[in-house]
Structure 1
Amino acid sequence: MAREPEGNRITPPHVPFYKATDLGGYRMRHLRLGKLRLLRPRLLRLFPLLRPRLPRTRAGQRRAVQAVMLGCVLALLPATWLFLAADDRLRTTRDVPRTEVAMVFGAGLRGEEPSPYLAHRLDAAAELYRSGRIEVVLVTGDNSREDYDEPDTMRTYLTERGVPGRRIVSDYAGFDTWDSCVRAKKIFGVDEAVLISQGFHIRRAVALCQEAGVTSYGVPAQGDRKNATWYYGTVRELFAASKAATEALFEPDPRFLGPREPGVARALATTRP
């Protein structure tokens, strides 16, 4: 019987291809896996936390469920505090009480222009000024780099929409909401203000400014589409609520404090055009 040429041999279907062609590599992989299996019990003895242990008794299971529920409640407490603290302080541009100062929080730039969210905040501030409900706009934002200047960009946007420059005061160290609120009180002497921001952020802004000593009303900016950025901001607020609760509890100083500035008082002393 003639032998089949070597080149025409076919690997039997029940033999894995890598076993028929690379026995050496297969043995090496098998040995490495075997060593890892031998090491696992030793690792578990050295690091017992690596071994997941579920409670075996009903009492233990009940305690585990209670612990999970308690963790959920504690996680939601800061968000609940924000909701309750600001619930009766939210208004619209039409029914907000007449207040001398409005605060607009920075929300990022696109090149040399305000981001869409920031533009909507500034539009609301300009509307409040034109309607006579506010007298001065305090723009607070980030100017930590020479090539990034939120307050001056906000000022330019407002002046182009009819707000006189002498009625705009800039805070160049409003790096976050708490810093802006504390600086408004301690640096610029603001006792009462209308806060303007997006709906997902306005409750936190009102709650923190209230804690900083600024009697506040919140006006959510209008015109925002509920896109991916909006939903991201909403989810982010759930985590930011814990930071806000910590700031309200411990009242840390802002990153930069400095001496008092008379900008707001000087702007209020000027007459409307």
Structure 2
Amino acid sequence: MPKKSLVLILLVVMSALLVAISSTAMSIYSYGNNTHNLKADAAIVLGAAVWGEEPSPVFRERINHAVNLYKNGDVKQMIFTGGVGDKDEPAEAIVGKNYAIQQGVKTADILTETQSRTTRQNLNNAGEIASLHQLTKCLIVSDPLHLKRAVWMARDLGMDAYPSPTPTTRYRSLQSQIPFLMRETYFYFVYLIFKI
């Protein structure tokens, strides 16, 4: 094959790859920025880092959003997910539960799973808890850019799941959104290919 033809094929392949990555990134961005006012049985709050006994700013905003859903009557229960990141810290789910109780959520309306370390584990474990408690329709609460992959995973796990993006996400500036979007685009492709 002539060198010129090989270069042309390589350019076409690279262009197609760039278009695929760009369109996926745009779909992730727009998916998380569409809000739906849905009522559900539970809000599944995806875990995030904790700072000692307190939720990190990212996790706190996820919890605040779930608390608002609960107080507005959009959900009846909350399921907090997330295990132990640093061995000296409590599980993310326990920190989330404690914070929600401080915001006025009834202890009886909070469920937790403390074993997960990844988004897929968060959702799998939360799905088992939801099923056990006969909670069928769930809102997935996370940062907007995280939701397309998370909801897709939840549905692949057989859940009746819908996105509920955190409106006060800490990822508001372009400087913080671009790295998050690049990371999510990568993990979205990994999930589509390997289902992990």
Query: Shorter chain as normaliser: what TM range?
Result: 0.7 to 0.9
Asked if residue 233 in structure 1 is aligned to residue 174 in structure 2, the reply is: no
Aligned-pair CA distance for 1:82: 6.4
Distance in 2 between residues matched to 1:111 and 1:74, nearest whole Å: 41
Corresponding position of 1:166: 108
Partner of 2:13: 67
1:98 is matched with: 39
Match for residue 112 of structure 1?
A: 53
Unpaired segments of 5 or more residues in structure 1? 1-54, 253-273
Aligned equivalents of 2:94, 2:32: Cα separation in 1: 32
Instruction: Name the residue aligned to 2:165.
Output: 220
Q: Is the 8 A contact 1:193 1:217 kept in 2?
A: yes
Runs of 4+ in 1 over 6 A off after TM superposition: none
Shift in CA distance, 188/132, structure 1 to aligned 2, threshold 3 Å = closer
Partner of 1:195: 140
**What do residues 119-173 of structure 1 show as CA deviations (whole Å, max 9, x unaligned)?**
1111111111111111110000122654232111001100000101111111112
Q: Larger relative contact order (C-alpha < 8 A, sep ≥ 6)?
A: 2
Q: Which region of structure 1 is more displaced relative to structure 2, 112-121 or 225-234?
A: 225-234
The amino acid that maps onto 1:185 is G
Q: Which TM-score applies when normalising by structure 2? A: 0.82
Do the aligned partners of 1:91 and 1:217 also contact (CA within 8 Å) in 2? no
Question: Which runs of no fewer than 5 residues in structure 2 stay unpaired?
Answer: none
Counterpart for residue 261 of structure 1: none
Pairing 1:1-273 to 2, within 5 Å after superposition: 57-73=3-19, 75=21, 79=24, 83=28, 87=31, 90-92=34-36, 95=37, 97-143=38-84, 146-148=87-89, 149-189=91-131, 190-225=135-170, 226-227=172-173, 228-248=175-195
Q: 1:247 to 1:73 in 2, by over 3 A?
A: same
Q: How many residues align?
A: 190
Q: 1:111 deviation in Å?
A: 2.6
Letter in 2 for 1:211: D
Q: Which has the larger radius of gyration?
A: 1
CA distance in 1, matches of 2:146, 2:182: 11
1:98–1:74: structure 2 CA closer, same or farther, 3 Å change rule?
A: closer
Whether the aligned pair in 1 keeps the contact of 2:32 and 2:163 (CA below 8 Å) is no
Q: 1:241 to 1:88 in 2, by over 3 A?
A: closer
CA RMSD after TM alignment: 2.9
Query: What is the CA–CA distance in structure 1 between the aligned matches of 2:83 and 2:4, rounded to whole Å?
Result: 54
